[in-house]
Structure 1
Amino acid sequence: MNSKSLVLGPVVAIAIGGAAQAQELKYANWAPPMHTINAAQIEPLAKAIEEGTDGAVTLRAFHGGELGAGPADQFVRVIQGTADMGWGLQGYTSSQFPKSMIPELPGALPLGQPGYSALWRAYDTELAAEYPRTEVIALWGAEPNILMMRDKQVRTPEDLRGLKMRVAGTISAEAMEALGATPVQIPMTQVYNGLQTGLIDGVISGASVLSDFKLQEVVGSVTTGPNLGRLTFYTVMNKSAYDGLSDDAKAAIDAIKGEEISKLTEEAWVATADAALAAARQSADTTVIDLEGDDAKAFDDALTEVTDTYVQNVGGDAALTAMRGD
C-alpha cells in the first residue's frame, strides 16, 4: 500500500461515517419531562420524523428549560436558532400575538368548542403574520379556564375582590381586574411556590395544571362554570432550519403539522384536565364549586366589556368570526 492510500483511507472512512450520522433537531421544552406536552406532541413528532426519513433525521427534546430557562422566551429562542423547534404560550408575549389570543377572551368561544380548529380556521387570513421567520407546527387551546384558590372559595364575582390572582397574560389580567382582583403575572413554573407562600391567592388557568405542575398539593378550592376563556399555545420551527431539511424530512413534518398534531395535543390537554378535576372532586383536601345558570352568568356579564373592547382594539372582528365558524 502506497503512502497516498494510507492518507486517503482514514479520510474516506470519516466521510462515510459522517454521511451515516443522523441529523438531530432540537426541541425546547421548558416544562418537566412528565408534562402532557411530551407524550401528546413531542413523541408523536419525533416518531413521524424518524419514520419518515428512515432515521436520517431525529427530534430530541430538551426538557425543563435545558436550552434556556423561561417560557416567555420560547418564540425568540426558536427564531434565534438556539432550538430548532419549541412550544409556548402566546400570552407570555401578548404584544406579539394579539389576534391569536382572542380565544383567551371570556366568552369568545363556546365552552365546548375546540380551540385548535378555531385557531386554524383563522390562521391563513388573520394570524399568519404573527409568526414571522417560523414554520408553524401546531396551534391549540387548553381546556376552559377555571379558578383555583389557595384557601378562599369563589362563588360570586365579589369573592375575588382584593385577591391576588396569577394570570398568564394581558387578557386574563384585564378579566381579573374587571372582577376586582389584582393580577400577578408570574410563570407557571413559579405558581406552586406562589400559592404555598401566599404570594398569590389563586390562579386562573385550565385544570390540567393541577397535575402537570402538582398544584393539587397547594390548591384548596376550585370554581368551574363561568366562561373565562382558555389559554392558547403554539409550537413553531425555525424557518431556516425547516427550509434546510431534506424533502423526506419536510414531507414527514408536513404530514403531521397543522390541525392533526394540534388536535392530538389539545385532546391530551383536555384529558389531563378531566382527570385532574376528577381527582380534585375525590380529594378531601379540595372543594370543587360548580356554578350554573345565573351564578355563572354573573361572571360572564361582568366580563363582556373586556372581550368587546379587546376585539375592537386589535381589529379582531374578522378573526373572531372565522374562529367561531360564523
Structure 2
Amino acid sequence: MKKRTALCTFAMTACLAIAPMAMAKDLALAYFMGPKHPMNGAVFTPFAQKLAEVSDGALTVTQFPGGALNSAPSKQYSILRDGVADIAFHPPGYTATLFPVTTSITTPGLCLDAVECTEALWRAYDVVEKEFDAKILALWANDPHVIFSKDKPIRTLEDMSGLIVRMSSAQDIPFMEALGGSAVSQPVSVINQNLSNGVIDAIAIDASANMSFKLDEPANYITTNVPGSVTSFALLMNQGVYDALSDEEKAWVAEASGKELSLQGAQVYHDLAIRGVEIARQNGVEIITLADDERARWDAAIEPALDAWKASDVGQGLTGAQVMQLMQGE
C-alpha cells in the first residue's frame, strides 16, 4: 500500500511538473531576409525575447529566416493568411493595392525621416488596421529614398529623363514618371544584380539598403535630397492564431509589440541610412546632394502628380488629402 501511494504521488508530481511545458505555445515567424538583417536585431528578436519574458516561457517564437517558408517577398502576406506561418514580416508596398492607406506614407513630403514617418503611420492606425486581415504587431517606416545609379550621375532633373528606376511601391510610380523616369517594380533581393548588369539604370530606395544589399558595389553615384518616398513595413500575426489566444496571452502579445517596438525599428533604419551613405562614400561612391534651387525644380515637377493623388479616393471614404492630414496630425 505504501509503495502504491508513493507511485501515485510521484505520478501526480510528474504530471504537475510537465503541465506548464505542455501548455507552452511556439509561434513560427517567417521573413525572406537573412538572419543578420538589421530588422531581425531591431524588431523580430526583441519581440520574441519580450514575449518569452512576459509570458514566462508560455509563448515563444521560432524564426524561419531567409525565405525558409516562402522566399518571395510579395507572398509573405499570403503565407500568413494561409497559416503557413503564425507571424510574418511583410512590406505592404509589394501588395500596394491591398493597402492603399498604409502605402500612402510613401507620398513624397508627407514626413521627413523614419521616426517621423512611423509616428505618422500610428496616427492613422485605426484606419490602417482595417486594411489588414491580420493582427498588426509592429508597423514602421524607413528614411526617404535616395537614388543609386551606376553609369549616369544624377545632378539635375534632366538627368532623370528615360532612366529605368526600380521603385519600392506602385504608389511611387506617378511621382517617378513625373520626374521623367520609367518606374519598374522588382524584389529587393535582385536589385544589386540588376543594377550591375544594366537591367535597370537606377534604384530609388532608402540608404540603409546599402548595408543589407551592398548597393555600393554596382553603384557609382548616390543622389540625395530628392523628393523621395519612404517604405512601410509590418510584422503581422495570423488573425486566427491571435483570436485563438486567451485574454492573458493577448495581453502578453500586446506588451511585447506595438508602437514602442515599431519606433525601435524606425530608429535603426534612420541610423543605418546615415551610415549607409557614409560607407558608400568610403567605398568610392560619389555622393551628390541636390542644391535647394534644384530640389525646388524636382518638387515642382511632381506637384501635378501630388495634387492628383490628394484628390483621389484612397479608400474607406478618404481622399489622399484627408489621409495626409490624418497622418500629419492636422
Which of 79, 88, 96 is 1:77 aligned to?
79
| Residue number in structure 2 paired with 1:261 | 261
| Residue number in structure 2 paired with 1:138 | 138
CA contact 1:50–1:57 (8 Å) conserved in 2: yes
Partners of 1:113 and 1:84 lie apart in 2 by 27
The runs of 4+ residues in structure 1 deviating greater than 4 Å are 12-19
* Residue 34 of structure 1: how far off its partner (Å): 1.2
Per the normalisation by structure 1, the TM-score is 0.91
Partners of 1:46 and 1:309 lie apart in 2 by 42
CA contact 2:140–2:265 (8 Å) conserved in 1: yes
Which of 106, 109, 120 is 1:107 aligned to?
109
| Residue number in structure 2 paired with 1:302 | 301
Counterpart amino acid of 2:191?
V
Aligned-residue identity in percent = 32
CA contact 2:144–2:206 (8 Å) conserved in 1: yes
| Residue number in structure 1 paired with 2:4 | none
Count of matched residue positions in the alignment of Structure 1 and Structure 2? 320
CA contact 1:111–1:227 (8 Å) conserved in 2: no
What is the root-mean-square deviation in Å for CA atoms of aligned residues?
Answer: 2.4
Residues 135-181 of structure 1, C-alpha deviation per residue, up to 9 Å, x if partnerless?
11111111111111122100112101111111122122222211221
Partners of 1:185 and 1:117 lie apart in 2 by 27
112 and 59 in structure 1: CA distance in 2 versus 1, 3 angstrom threshold = closer
1:128 matched to 2:129? The reply is: yes
| Residue number in structure 1 paired with 2:30 | 28
User: Bigger CA drift: 38-47 or 289-298?
Assistant: 289-298
Partners of 1:111 and 1:43 lie apart in 2 by 24
* Residue 16 of structure 1: how far off its partner (Å): 6.6
| Residue number in structure 2 paired with 1:161 | 161
Matches within 5 A, 1:305-320: 305-313=304-312, 314=314, 315-320=319-324
25 and 113 in structure 1: CA distance in 2 versus 1, 3 angstrom threshold = closer
Per the normalisation by structure 2, the TM-score is 0.90
Residues 43-101 of structure 1, C-alpha deviation per residue, up to 9 Å, x if partnerless?
11011110011112111111111111111111122111111111121111111011111
The unaligned stretches of length 5 or more in structure 2 are 2-6
| Residue number in structure 2 paired with 1:65 | 67
Partners of 2:302 and 2:187 lie apart in 1 by 24
Matches within 5 A, 1:79-94: 79-94=81-96
1:322 matched to 2:326? The reply is: yes
The unaligned stretches of length 5 or more in structure 1 are none
Counterpart amino acid of 1:37?
M
| Residue number in structure 1 paired with 2:227 | 227
* Residue 318 of structure 1: how far off its partner (Å): 2.2
Partners of 2:167 and 2:194 lie apart in 1 by 12
* Residue 113 of structure 1: how far off its partner (Å): 6.4
Counterpart amino acid of 2:172?
S
CA contact 1:78–1:84 (8 Å) conserved in 2: yes
